[in-house]
Amino acid sequence: MKIDSWRNSASIIAVASTVAAGVALPKGALAQAPDATLMAQAGERRAFNIPPQPLGTALGVLGQQSGRNISVDGALVRGVSTQGVQGTMSIDEALNRLLSGTGLTYSKPNNSTITVQRVGTGSAVVLDPVQVQGAFPVPSQAMIGNLPSPYAGGQVATGGQLGLLGNRGVMDTPFNQTNFTAKKAKDQQAKTVKDVLIDDPSVRAIRADSSPGGDSVRIRGFTVQNAAISYGGLYGVLPNESIMAELAERVEVLKGPSAMLNGMQPTGSIGGVINIVPKRAPDEPLTQLTANYVSGAQFGGHVDVARRFGPEKEFGVRFNGVFRDGQTDIQWNTDERALALLGLDFRGERARFSADFGYQSRYVGGATGYIALANGVPLPWAPNARNNPAGQPFTEVLTKDLFGTFRGEVDLTDRVTAYASLGAHDLRSDSLQAGLTVNNVNGAATSRGQLNNSYSTFQTAIAGIRALVDTGPVGHEFSFSATTFANENGDAVVQGTPFATNIYSPTIIARPSIATPVTTKTSTQQLSSLGFADTLVAADKRIQLTVGARLQRVQAANFDPATGAETSSYDESALSPSVALVFKPWQNVSIYGNWIQGLQQGAIVGQQFTNAGEVFPPFKSTQYEAGIKIDWGRLTATASVFQINQPSILTDVAANTQVLGGEQVNQGLELNVFGEVTEGVRLLGGAMFLNAALAKTQDGLMNGWVAPFSPGAQFNLAGE
């Protein structure tokens, strides 16, 4: 039985008549709907698709599909269900059908708000926006149970997480962010999170699934490693090499640097942040079995089961299990993946808790090897990729990831919420690979087997507080957080005997006999930070100014794999401020801009230079961005321009020194569109035009050159 994802995606609902609800909420204003002059009038006919479900969530969906704000007392809709509404009709007709037989009616205090109430009562008082979660309201500053609802078409959401700032609607976000839904991932049969991102023109995959490397991507022309993908805001928790799509309720992509919002990413990525939102049990029972087939002989299945327990459905349990295996389209290559994920949650009147425990394994047989080019060799014609020219039948990669997280938040008052999250992850990886180096234009190459055993452990935590405060005509949304991250890596590599081959007619050898090495600690990394931000809100949220900063400390050490002795260490700090602005000349139009930085661990000058041992502070990359977003109710279009300046190290050959004097500048224009063009026709895609150039190089010899791996234009258009 398939339960529609709307059941777990209640839209924003204002809770009024607080005496009846039994919850004391402060006075305030509900987030404004689009201006009446730009909205459809009540008599205009619209397409509605609201399945049978609890009335509270159905009203939230109606608000999204109609462009109206719905105000309702949570106690009135508790335990009340509706048969839903489907078809093209006026907003009044849709409301009457939803409320039929419930003893409830509605009034319209203004052109943008609809108030639901009992028959014969006066209109309710409109208060601060909250979500109705089971029996209890969730304030807007909270995160657990505050999942933004899907946008028209269901492929993307109306908002997403902004780290330190919490959840923000798309129109209130001063950045370019796209939030893909689990529905989108399932409809396209995505195997991995990387597959989910395929429709974002600013994102491009680096490696194929058949390779021994991870699912790294490039965002705005900069590499973002898998280890930098967060899970509910926690770095280092998810599998390092490849993340299966079935574990995600949302895949949120925030483009550009984000040190103030999220802290420094473990791998120093600055192109963007990918955040995975965990799945939670919906209000209604869910039992779903899915079989799938991918090209080649890849078959698999997915089971998704969820239940809620308790008189108010306080306790939730959700299990996702996946297995997929078979031959791919590439010679010798097989891909086996398995996932088991258990999600638990509790939602109370003023406290909410959740936990996730997961295990993922991945085995790649006949892994495709990497092809390198020797210095001075012209680039030869590419061989047939299906022939696996750099691989061997014996090559294989096995990774096992065990991870868990816990999250909790408590409403200290109706407008102040404290929260804490912690997570841990253990990764084990064994591989036998066979890359090669091309020696001439005719494809002659040298290859060798390589045995690699490694491990990584991660511990991470975040604690903070979010508060809403009014000071006269200006509102404040305060945020404070402290983060910590620890990572230890171990590695062992043994090289086999080289042999001659050719990329057009590979030499196949027997599995080499390589002694299994002992894995020892090779490096550690510790990241800690304190972040603070204040969003000043005025003029009915038409003006939103965010100012903030994060103090980041970076500690790292390297160790000799043979002796275990520390060979180098790093301990530096950096302060990263940020400013962002949202201005809404009309409620369905947002003009925004931001100035924000990204951080990367600095370097220690090597022993071969005269300034050996000099420690460079964390590299600060700076982004300038401006954009506009227009929401037409069922279709949203965005445009943004950006510039990211990334510093780098230069080598002065004459003086035999290294200095922090290099720079790469990426300038771009992004165009995005998502939603429903008309009923039943969904559209998702856009374009990115990129000018990535080396601005400062040694002696200026390469100034103006195109930066590596930076195409000038990228396009995507997906229709459904």
The correct answer on CATH 3.40.50.12280 for the domain covering 286-719 is: no
Instruction: Tell me which of 460 and 82 has the higher pLDDT.
Output: 460
Check residue 112 and give its pLDDT.
Answer: 63
Determine the Cα–Cα distance for residues 603 and 614; give it in Å rounded to an integer: 8
Model confidence at 438, pLDDT cuts 50, 70, 90, reads very high
Nearest to 294, CA basis, from 333, 327, 247, 245:
327
Determine the Cα–Cα distance for residues 594 and 644; give it in Å rounded to an integer: 12
Determine the Cα–Cα distance for residues 705 and 692; give it in Å rounded to an integer: 8
Render 486-539 in DSSP notation, one character per residue: EEEEEEEEEE---EEEESSSPPP-PPP--PPPPPEEEEEEEEEEEEEEEEEEET
Instruction: Please answer whether residues 275 and 167 qualify as being in contact, where contact means their C-beta atoms are separated by less than 8 angstroms.
Output: no
Given the DSSP bridges, would you call strands 203-205 and 566-586 parallel, antiparallel or unpaired? unpaired
Taking the alpha carbons of 132, 134, 140, 145 in that order, is the dihedral positive or negative?
Answer: negative
- Per-residue pLDDT at 159 exceeds 80: yes
Determine the Cα–Cα distance for residues 477 and 683; give it in Å rounded to an integer: 34
Over residues 332-355, the pLDDT tens digits come to 999 999 999 999 999 998 999 999
- Per-residue pLDDT at 22 exceeds 60: no
Q: How many CB atoms lie within 10 A of CB 213?
A: 17
Check residue 132 and give its pLDDT.
Answer: 53
Over residues 289-299, the pLDDT tens digits come to 999 888 889 99
Determine the Cα–Cα distance for residues 124 and 77; give it in Å rounded to an integer: 14
Q: Tokens 């280890």 correspond to what residue?
A: 227
Nearest to 670, CA basis, from 250, 259, 203, 228:
203
CB contact set of 83 (below 8 Å; sequence gap of 6+): 52, 97, 100
Residue 94, token pair as written in the block: 């849709």
Check residue 558 and give its pLDDT.
Answer: 93
Model confidence at 111, pLDDT cuts 50, 70, 90, reads low
Distances in Å between the alpha carbon of 126 and those of 43, 110, 587?
24, 11, 18
Residue 682, token pair as written in the block: 């969904």
Check residue 587 and give its pLDDT.
Answer: 84
What are the sequence ranges of the domains in the chain? 5-139, 286-719
| 122-126, 229-233, 257-261, 680-684: least confidently modelled range | 122-126
- Per-residue pLDDT at 23 exceeds 60: no
Over residues 673-695, the pLDDT tens digits come to 999 988 889 999 999 999 999 99
% of the chain exceeding 70 in pLDDT: 91
Taking the alpha carbons of 297, 196, 59, 74 in that order, is the dihedral positive or negative?
Answer: positive
Instruction: Please answer whether residues 44 and 67 qualify as being in contact, where contact means their C-beta atoms are separated by less than 8 angstroms.
Output: no
Amino acid at 296: G
SS3 668: strand
Over residues 351-389, the pLDDT tens digits come to 999 999 999 999 999 999 889 999 999 999 999 888 999
SS3 94: helix
- Per-residue pLDDT at 405 exceeds 90: yes
Burial tier of 27 (Cβ tally within 10 Å: 0-12, 13-18, 19+)? exposed
Tell me the residue ranges of DSSP E strands in 91-176. 104-110, 113-118, 129-133, 136-139, 159-161, 167-169
Across the range 513-528, mean pLDDT stands at: 91
Sheet strand arrangement including 222-224: 203-205, 217-219, 222-224
Across the range 233-258, mean pLDDT stands at: 95
Determine the Cα–Cα distance for residues 343 and 354; give it in Å rounded to an integer: 7
Residue 218, token pair as written in the block: 């490039």
Over residues 51-78, the pLDDT tens digits come to 888 888 888 788 777 777 787 777 777 7
| 209-218, 249-258, 586-595: least confidently modelled range | 209-218
Residue 140, token pair as written in the block: 């807007």
Instruction: Tell me which of 99 and 36 has the higher pLDDT.
Output: 99
Determine the Cα–Cα distance for residues 176 and 188; give it in Å rounded to an integer: 23
Check residue 562 and give its pLDDT.
Answer: 86
Determine the Cα–Cα distance for residues 15 and 512; give it in Å rounded to an integer: 68
Residue 422, token pair as written in the block: 């912690």
Global pTM reads: 0.82
Across the range 656-681, mean pLDDT stands at: 93
Helix (H) or strand (E) holding 158: none
Model confidence at 79, pLDDT cuts 50, 70, 90, reads confident
- Per-residue pLDDT at 183 exceeds 90: yes
CA angle 688, 689, 693 (to 5 degrees): 125
SS3 220: coil
Check residue 645 and give its pLDDT.
Answer: 97
Instruction: Please answer whether residues 59 and 76 qualify as being in contact, where contact means their C-beta atoms are separated by less than 8 angstroms.
Output: no
Angle at which helices 91-99 and 55-66 cross, to 10°: 180
| Overall size of the chain counted in residues | 720
CB contact set of 12 (below 8 Å; sequence gap of 6+): 31, 60, 63, 69, 129, 130, 131, 140, 149
The correct answer on CATH 3.55.50.30 for the domain covering 5-139 is: yes
| 12-26, 148-162, 548-562, 606-620: least confidently modelled range | 12-26
- Per-residue pLDDT at 222 exceeds 70: yes
Across the range 699-710, mean pLDDT stands at: 92
Over residues 619-658, the pLDDT tens digits come to 999 999 999 999 998 899 999 999 999 999 999 888 899 9
Instruction: Tell me which of 139 and 667 has the higher pLDDT.
Output: 667
Model confidence at 7, pLDDT cuts 50, 70, 90, reads very low
| 116-120, 159-163, 469-473: least confidently modelled range | 116-120
| 50-54, 124-128, 259-263: least confidently modelled range | 124-128
Check residue 36 and give its pLDDT.
Answer: 37
Helix (H) or strand (E) holding 454: strand 450-471
